[in-house]
Amino acid sequence: MFYLICYDIVDDRRRQRVAKLLETCAVRVQKSVFEAVLEEKQYEQLQTRLLKLLNKREDQLRFYPLSAHSREKVNVLGIQPQFTVDDPAIIA
């Protein structure tokens, strides 16, 4: 499944840790927005690891699943990334 992942994390240190983890399995498309193709088990593993990094009272992380049909309709204005996010992620 293709996911759009975005976060709002208050603390710089936590934000850096979350970003670093996401960079291992997703492509950063904006400062706090990532895209990833994750199988169900990978999705669950990633969420488990991310939950350990978050402060649930201050931080927010969202996963938006996008169908192939929805993904085809994505319209990017401005600079186009030079990559695609089609291979399943490997969570280290």
Domain contains 31: yes
Sign of the C-alpha dihedral, residues 81, 37, 92, 61? positive
Q: How far is CA 81 from the centre of its chain?
A: 16
Domain contains 42: yes
pLDDT tens string 65-88: 998 888 888 877 887 766 566 655
Cβ density class 59-87: b for 16+ within 10 Å, e for less: bebebeeeeeeeeeeeeeeeeeeeeebee
**What is the model's pLDDT at position 71?**
81
Domain count along the chain? 1
pLDDT tens string 20-57: 999 999 999 999 999 999 999 999 999 999 999 999 99
CATH of the domain at 56: 3.30.70.240
Domain contains 89: no
Domain contains 75: no
Domain contains 11: yes
Domain contains 77: no
Q: Is the pLDDT of residue 4 over 80?
A: yes
When the pLDDT of each residue in the chain is averaged and rounded to a whole number, the result is 88
Q: Which domain holds residue 60?
A: 2-68
Domain contains 84: no
Domain contains 8: yes
Q: What is the pTM of this model?
A: 0.82
